[in-house]
Structure 1
Amino acid sequence: MNQKEYSKPLNLRRVDVTDTFWKKEMELIRKEVIPYQWEALNDRVEGAAPSYCMRNFKIASKLTKERSLHKDVPKLIDINLNGFEFLPEEENKLENRFYGYVFQDSDFSKWIEAVAYSLTQHPDEQLEKIADEAIDLVCEAQQPNGYLDTFYIINDMNKVFTNLRDHHELYCFGHLAEGAVAYYQATGKDKLLDAARRYADYIDSVFGTEEGKCKGYPGHEIAEMALVRLYDVTGETKYLKLSEYFINQRGQKPYYFDLEFKVEPKDRDELRYLYNQAHLPVREQKEAVGHAVRATYLYSGMADLARVTKDESLYEACVNLWDSIVDRKMYITGGIGGTHMGEAFSFDYDLPNDTAYAETCASIGLVFFARRMLEMKADSRFADVMERTLYNGVLSGMALDGKSFFYVNPLEVNPLACKKDERKQHVKASRQKWFGCACCPPNIARLVSSIGSYAYTESENTLYVHLYMGANIQKTVGDHSLHVKIESGFPWNGNVTLEIEASTPIESTIALRIPDWCDTYTISKLQDDERTIRDGYLYITKTWEGKEELQLDFLMKSKIVHANPNVRENTGKVAIVRGPIVYCLEGVDNGEDLHLIQIEEKNCIIEEALGKIEEESIIKLTVSGEKAVVKDEEVALYRTKPLEYKKEVFTLIPYYTWANRGESEMSVWIRQK
């Protein structure tokens, strides 16, 4: 790793996103999703699965107050702490007890994080007031020793940290810390940050290699990267050391989860350790395995730690795991997690389209991992995947109106099969209002609201442009600053304008990614000694003076893509992409039985034309091909005669816009004639 290439995300208060495409998405989050999610967290969305998140905090807050007055307040109810608490069927059956999943607290933390990022772009006194009141309630539930998790505060504090594998306390802490740091950075208010620090201090007193401390680690990762972020904002090295402990302890023998559950080696379920990425020490892991969200959160924490500690062996482990995902286990949309069994990575090249899991949160985790790899080394291969994933695997998880969501993002759908085939019941043909396990909607909200910190990072003298989106940026160089104004036509055209203004001459570098989908690009005339290309980035180094303008044009045209021949599902099929956008067939445009369509081998793309899906301005593609003719009188299951085909023209739409016009079939991969 070259230290000079290290960068960090720009402070969002120095980035004003003005982009036509992404500003619309951010405003959708601000106006629709954040208020909607607040109603959902308070169980006020009719027809949606209840959350009980804020209700649990109210109960925990009440208990904490009572315990401070009376030392011997009993736990509310005896439960089996080795299992989840599921939602009751009827509202009138509610008792003063914990409801929901063990990780329900994290829904608040992700919501407050999204609120924080939104406030950096659009101050809102009323929203900030609601957030402050929610923070007050959450902090009231915190125990005197710093512990803060409503599942155990309500049920039995004697069981704290007794089921690290399943019960998500450290996961909930991680999201709390992420939200607390974001809110502090956005508003300057440190109440939630102080609560997160107190909880981190308590965790630090419990875990470690010292005698008498717990030798365990999180079952569901995120604490690792959250602790590094807590270190970044506070400067407290103990948080960095705690993250390092969790990462280094993972996969060590004797396996902690064996000890936790008193499992004999002969009875060990090796698949369970793969599921938790705990089968090997992290530096020995070369294949991405197990639960895809947990994996990418772990890998993101590893990358954070490698960056801060300049640990070369940890960086190489991250590269190996990145290559495993991107080269052998990633869908063309940036979706990851090929099987619903454990929401997990499958074996290499096993990427089924109609039973794909491709959880929205997993794609978001891949974006986290990508940016952290970019912070260590500006290599376009990381940014290319980040871009593809954002525009496809992430945005597909939310409806165009921001009011319904996909948990699972398949690449092929037959609505009838979703209802009648048990193997495909995890796949939905329409988005849902909310989920009892509602990790994905608030995850989308916090990512989209903070999109500026993924588009741009900086080192002391360099501004890195990883994603092309319109923005006004203040880049500090020594005691001076550059104002950089970016205008972009992405994702529909490759025209980009950068206006750089310096009040005093400043020598600095702007690094611009050259997208992998672009075969040809042009840029305003530069001197040869002002430009160099390295690892897929064009570095422009010069003394900026007054106001200067750079014009870029990345040729954006439709392309046919073939899968690796080892991906058996896609033999004889192709996908079509245009720039960063993946396209698909939908039954609304092309009728049902999409599997009977095949397109021409060459020159099949007839037209790229502006269009709309609902109110979303898009570019639609028209392709030539043919569709098998099925006659009503044909009843035989098998036949010796070949199918007859009729020439037709078919319409493709951006994958992220599918399922916004009612239920119908959908397919990304199309048979090629």
Structure 2
Amino acid sequence: MNRIKDVNLSKVHVKDRFWSEKQRLIVDVVIPFQEQILNDEIEGVEKSHALANFRIAAGLEEGEFYGMVFQDSDVAKWLEGAAYSLTVKPDMALEERVDAIIEVIEKAQQPDGYLNTYFTVKEPEHRWQNLQECHELYCAGHMMEAAAAYYGVTGKDRLLKVMERMADNISEQFGPGKRAGIPGHQEVEIGLMRLFHATGKEKYRELAQYFIDERGRNPDFFKEEKEKRGWEHFGIEPQDTKYNQSYAPVREQKTAEGHSVRAVYMYTAMADIAGVTGEKKLLEACETLWDNITQKRMYLTGGIGSTGDGEAFTIDYDLPNDMAYAETCASIGLAFFAKKMLNISPSNKYADIMERVLFNGILSGMQMDGKKFFYVNPLEVNPGVSGVLHGYKHVRLQRTGWYACACCPPNLVRLVMSLGEYAWSESEDTVYSHLYVGGSAELDKVKIDVESSFPWEGKVEYIIHPRQQDTIFTFAVRIPSYVKKKIIRLNGDDISNCIEKKVEEKDGYLYF
């Protein structure tokens, strides 16, 4: 199987009229600003305490846990974004601060590999008892992603080893012949697949697939879990199996249901696993769910999840502008899903949506000064109604400095700083250009420079530098479905005039 793979982010250099300014803002302003928030150094915004939680869990300072039960995930996503930023602008001081945080995280890890500050500091007797609400697996998944990212950028494996030990702890708890279990909020599946890609260890892919295969096998799992433990955290009713996508086995799910972020995170992992294993039934489920989202349950901006009631999908074509939820994280998750589908079957049906959410549903989540953020992204606001009346209280008129549940701001950072991975893919014999991002990509067989005037103009120029003079490969360039007229010139000549143009168009990609 000639598998398509992500490019090494350190080999892609973004130099683009549009995106370079966004990345510069994040490097110079947003990452330091968010680090200060995580350290409770910014007045007038929602308190985080997330880094202090790790120091307390590590025994480095006294105090109580503060924040959401999944507060650890804010640190993980910030670490991942900081890792990617080092490929854009090397910063030894930042790298040293990241290393120091990783050292604290390592000290917070328990002797058996367990890592979660809430249950280490506050409720150690309740570990692994409330998968539905308490998100231990979710936090672990995000930290696995951070570990894989930092290892990929710097080659440093300290955090990677920490999260391998945590993955082993999870494996000791759950799996065939052990306890049944699925995460209430999907994410660990993505994190385990990142560990698999970083280390090549099949046990991580197998554990990720276990969580995917197990979901929906017993729709009453969370109900039975609640009855067994006899306590609750948020008070979420386990009977709503569509909310957490456990109403049916994933291969039988035909429509995007429930909490939109949980859904697209799960679909991302499903697509990643299908791409590795080649399983047709899992891929077919991904294709069906993709079509349902993008054709019937998505806003013009690429926003998904139209209701604040459960931050969820509703029914086909229910997309009110003024009551839109369209969480920033949900659009980010849709971009994740798109890229994994592109790595299986390059088609502009995936790349066009990925482009749409990058420019619209995601960037709207951050103010242009980099210091205020939208969690909810409405398409229409009405003063006196939005944020006030029942049904509209989730809609804010202005962006906010931080949130008690601050999943979106660092999530946006890690996506925009890893933009190069979304622009390019490569297989053994083909290089794929998915987005018109200016800069350069140093790939296995070739270096490609890109001059792009997108999005203001549709002019894009690729300059090809083969590694060796006799290198043979195919170069595939996306042609968006919205393009009405295209002109392709090869070495200055319109390819329609070339006798041996050797160009094929398939699924919205031109193959040279």
Q: Is the 8 A contact 2:220 2:239 kept in 1?
A: no
Amino acid at match of 2:59: K
Q: CA deviation at 1:429?
A: 1.0
Asked if 1:331 corresponds to 2:295, the answer is no
Asked if 1:491 corresponds to 2:459, the answer is no
Aligned 1:172-251 pairs, distance under 5 A? 172-210=139-177, 213-251=178-216
Asked if 1:62 corresponds to 2:54, the answer is no
- Paired position in structure 1 for 2:20: 23
Asked if 1:460 corresponds to 2:428, the answer is yes
Amino acid at match of 1:196: M
Aligned 1:346-365 pairs, distance under 5 A? 346-365=314-333
Q: CA deviation at 1:269?
A: 6.1
Which 4+ runs in 1 deviate beyond 4 A?
Answer: 268-271
Aligned 1:558-569 pairs, distance under 5 A? none
Please give the per-residue CA displacement for 1:94-142, whole angstroms capped at 9, x wherever unaligned: x822110000000010000001111112110011011111111111100
Q: Is the 8 A contact 1:43 1:51 kept in 2?
A: yes
Partner SS for 2:134: coil
Q: CA deviation at 1:438?
A: 0.5
Amino acid at match of 1:180: A
Q: CA deviation at 1:28?
A: 0.8
Asked if 1:531 corresponds to 2:503, the answer is yes
Aligned match of 1:424 in 367, 392, 399?
A: 392
Aligned 1:411-560 pairs, distance under 5 A? 411-477=379-445, 482-502=446-466, 503-524=468-489, 525-526=494-495, 527=498, 528-540=500-512
Partner SS for 2:46: coil
For residues 396 and 332 of structure 2, the distance between their equivalents in structure 1, rounded to whole angstroms, comes to 19
For residues 422 and 386 of structure 1, the distance between their equivalents in structure 2, rounded to whole angstroms, comes to 33
Aligned 1:252-291 pairs, distance under 5 A? 252-253=217-218, 255-262=220-227, 272-291=240-259
Asked if 1:159 corresponds to 2:126, the answer is yes
For residues 207 and 258 of structure 2, the distance between their equivalents in structure 1, rounded to whole angstroms, comes to 24
For residues 253 and 131 of structure 1, the distance between their equivalents in structure 2, rounded to whole angstroms, comes to 41
Asked if 1:97 corresponds to 2:61, the answer is no
Please give the per-residue CA displacement for 1:4-49, whole angstroms capped at 9, x wherever unaligned: 4x41111011111111111111111101110000001011111100
Please give the per-residue CA displacement for 1:537-578, whole angstroms capped at 9, x wherever unaligned: 0000xxxxxxxxxxxxxxxxxxxxxxxxxxxxxxxxxxxxxx
Aligned 1:554-633 pairs, distance under 5 A? none
Amino acid at match of 1:499: I
Partner SS for 1:224: helix
Which of the two has greater strand per residue? 1
For residues 269 and 485 of structure 1, the distance between their equivalents in structure 2, rounded to whole angstroms, comes to 53
Q: CA deviation at 1:157?
A: 2.0
Q: Is the 8 A contact 2:252 2:285 kept in 1?
A: yes
Please give the per-residue CA displacement for 1:606-659, whole angstroms capped at 9, x wherever unaligned: xxxxxxxxxxxxxxxxxxxxxxxxxxxxxxxxxxxxxxxxxxxxxxxxxxxxxx
- Paired position in structure 2 for 1:304: 272
Q: Is the 8 A contact 1:468 1:490 kept in 2?
A: yes
Which of the two has greater helix per residue? 2
For residues 392 and 529 of structure 1, the distance between their equivalents in structure 2, rounded to whole angstroms, comes to 36
Q: Is the 8 A contact 2:78 2:414 kept in 1?
A: yes
Amino acid at match of 1:537: Y
For residues 125 and 200 of structure 1, the distance between their equivalents in structure 2, rounded to whole angstroms, comes to 30
For residues 347 and 440 of structure 2, the distance between their equivalents in structure 1, rounded to whole angstroms, comes to 24
For residues 13 and 451 of structure 1, the distance between their equivalents in structure 2, rounded to whole angstroms, comes to 11
Q: Unmatched 5+ residue regions in structure 1? A: 66-94, 541-673
Q: CA deviation at 1:258?
A: 2.1
Asked if 1:318 corresponds to 2:315, the answer is no
Partner SS for 1:356: coil
Partner SS for 1:530: coil
Q: CA deviation at 1:416?
A: 2.1
Amino acid at match of 2:311: E
For residues 399 and 205 of structure 1, the distance between their equivalents in structure 2, rounded to whole angstroms, comes to 44
Please give the per-residue CA displacement for 1:313-335, whole angstroms capped at 9, x wherever unaligned: 00000001101101110000000
Amino acid at match of 2:313: F
Between stretches 493-502 and 161-170, larger displacement belongs to 493-502
For residues 271 and 353 of structure 1, the distance between their equivalents in structure 2, rounded to whole angstroms, comes to 29
Aligned match of 2:39 in 39, 42, 50?
A: 42
For residues 132 and 179 of structure 2, the distance between their equivalents in structure 1, rounded to whole angstroms, comes to 13
For residues 428 and 304 of structure 2, the distance between their equivalents in structure 1, rounded to whole angstroms, comes to 34
Name the Cα RMSD after superposition: 1.5
Q: CA deviation at 1:255?
A: 2.6
Higher relative contact order (CA 8 A, sep 6+): 2
Q: CA deviation at 1:399?
A: 0.7
- Paired position in structure 1 for 2:49: 52
For residues 191 and 439 of structure 2, the distance between their equivalents in structure 1, rounded to whole angstroms, comes to 27
Q: Is the 8 A contact 1:178 1:226 kept in 2?
A: yes
Partner SS for 2:411: helix
- Give the paired residue count: 497
Change in CA separation of 1:269 and 1:45 when aligned onto 2, cut-off 3 Å: closer
Q: Unmatched 5+ residue regions in structure 2? A: 229-235
Partner SS for 2:342: helix
Q: CA deviation at 1:441?
A: 0.4
- Paired position in structure 2 for 1:397: 365
Q: CA deviation at 1:253?
A: 2.3
Amino acid at match of 2:144: A
Amino acid at match of 2:14: V
Between structure 1 and structure 2, the one with the greater Rg is 1
Q: Is the 8 A contact 1:270 1:279 kept in 2?
A: no
For residues 307 and 123 of structure 2, the distance between their equivalents in structure 1, rounded to whole angstroms, comes to 35
Amino acid at match of 2:452: S
Partner SS for 1:423: coil
For residues 352 and 346 of structure 1, the distance between their equivalents in structure 2, rounded to whole angstroms, comes to 11
For residues 255 and 313 of structure 2, the distance between their equivalents in structure 1, rounded to whole angstroms, comes to 10
Q: Is the 8 A contact 2:452 2:461 kept in 1?
A: yes
For residues 449 and 473 of structure 1, the distance between their equivalents in structure 2, rounded to whole angstroms, comes to 15
Q: Is the 8 A contact 2:424 2:432 kept in 1?
A: yes
Q: TM-score, normalised by structure 2?
A: 0.95
Partner SS for 2:18: helix
For residues 299 and 204 of structure 1, the distance between their equivalents in structure 2, rounded to whole angstroms, comes to 22
For residues 390 and 421 of structure 2, the distance between their equivalents in structure 1, rounded to whole angstroms, comes to 41
Partner SS for 1:261: helix
Q: CA deviation at 1:254?
A: 6.0
Q: CA deviation at 1:419?
A: 4.2
For residues 481 and 191 of structure 2, the distance between their equivalents in structure 1, rounded to whole angstroms, comes to 31
Asked if 1:149 corresponds to 2:116, the answer is yes
Please give the per-residue CA displacement for 1:267-325, whole angstroms capped at 9, x wherever unaligned: x9676210100000000000100000000000001001111111110000000110110
For residues 32 and 42 of structure 2, the distance between their equivalents in structure 1, rounded to whole angstroms, comes to 11
Q: TM-score, normalised by structure 1?
A: 0.72
